Copies of this chain bind each other. A is one copy, B any other.
Amino acid sequence: MEVLFEKERPIPPYVRVTVNSLKRLVKDIFIALGVRECDAEVVADVLVTADLMGISSHGVQRVERYVSGIELGAVNVNAEMKFIIDNSAISVLDADNGLGHVAALKAIVHAIEKAKQFGVGIVLVRRSHHYGIAGYYALRAVEHGMIGVSMTNSEPLVAYIGTVERYLGTNPVAFAIPRKQPPPILYDGALSVTPVGKIEVYSKIGKDVPAGWVISSSGEIMSGDAKRIYDAIRRREAAILPLGGYLEEFGGHKGSGLALIVDILCGVLSGAAWGNHVGYTTVKNANVGHAFMAIDISRFMKLEEFYERLEQMISEIKSLKKSPWAQNIWIPGEKAWLTMQTRLKIGIPLHINIFENLKKIASRVGIRFDVEVVEERLT
């Protein structure tokens, strides 16, 4: 029996398209804009993987953002990325304002090489751009039997605890840990109470924002109409709250403290921008910073032994007593992986607006739009 699972159920109107045709389109769009073929392949793979995983906020709906960045000259398609520091187990990559996805992949591959040599490798990136889903890069380490860590700073959207202004990024952190059989463990989460993409999606599908996600610049906890709230954030009249919320009582100092640490590693230590100096993708010298780490498990114990121990832990968690409202006990990354298996078979659902937007972009950059639609659900 075929089990179909989608972490994020598509909401009509949408079309479902084949993975390969979508990926080819995205790749061709970037090639048409002057991106090298190998780099275009990376960007297309990162974006389509996000859609495969059911993280549509970070998927092809963001093609527009990167395309604009290139068209405005903010993203350098001819970037000459260089490891400007390369010293024992650590390294710094200067991304020359190129595509964040390309820089990030170079960096984690280098961190994996370091980890092969030293057991652990840390690679920081400066002068980069938005890199898509953090987890994509952490997963690369898993292919080498390693633990992968990936984090980035991002445009200021989040209020530091005790303040009401956008200053910190949502600053996602991803950890990927290999298992004997897929799926690997993949923790990938912003250090804000919610990613901004979710509020954006809510504003599009008319869902209400719950009290506890957003604070206005006058210090009110906002809730309700997502469009109003999303617009307020964009106008800098509101900010997203850190994980844990606005009070120390429920750990808001933890969420904003951890986001601060991420920014110190990705921004201050790497030589990139930090806090509200980090630019959006359409801004010149956005100077986004990332940090990557790979840890070689085999230096600690035989990979087989690690796998056995981890499987025991996971089976223990799976047999814990469920809470009354939980359908299932999920290991981080499991839902994304099941969604990916499903969508590799039945295709990726795209909201009709996103589909139409890709059509427009294709025509704008002068390429054929030949995405194969396998299902249409318009109402």
Contacts of A322 in B (CB 8 A): 162-164
User: 6 more A-B contacts (CB under 8 A) besides A88-B119, A212-B250?
Assistant: A88-B299, A159-B323, A161-B329, A219-B323, A246-B323, A253-B330
Contacts of A185 in B (CB 8 A): 260-261, 264
Task: Determine if A167 is an interface residue (Cβ-Cβ < 8 Å).
Answer: yes
Nearest B residue to A314 via CB reads B260
Question: How many residues of A are counted as interface, with CB atoms below 8 angstroms from the partner's CB atoms?
Answer: 85
- In the complex, the count of this chain's copies comes to 2
Contact in complex: B317, A160 (CB < 8 Å) = yes
What is the interface of chain A mostly: helix, strand, loop, or mixed? mixed
Q: Nearest-CB distance from A259 to chain B (Å)?
A: 10
Nearest B residue to A310 via CB reads B268
The answer to whether residues A89 and B313 also contact, given A243-B244, A244-B243 and a CB cut-off of 8 A, is no
- A89's partner among B119, B187, B245, B254 (CB-CB below 8 A) is B119
Contact in complex: A323, B163 (CB < 8 Å) = yes
Mark each residue of chain A from 85 to 103: 1 if its CB lies under 8 Å from any CB of chain B, else 0.
1011110100000000000
Residues in A114-168 with C-beta less than 8 Å from chain B: 117-122, 124, 147, 159-165, 167
Contact in complex: A321, B217 (CB < 8 Å) = yes
Bound CA–CA A189/B253 (angstroms) = 9
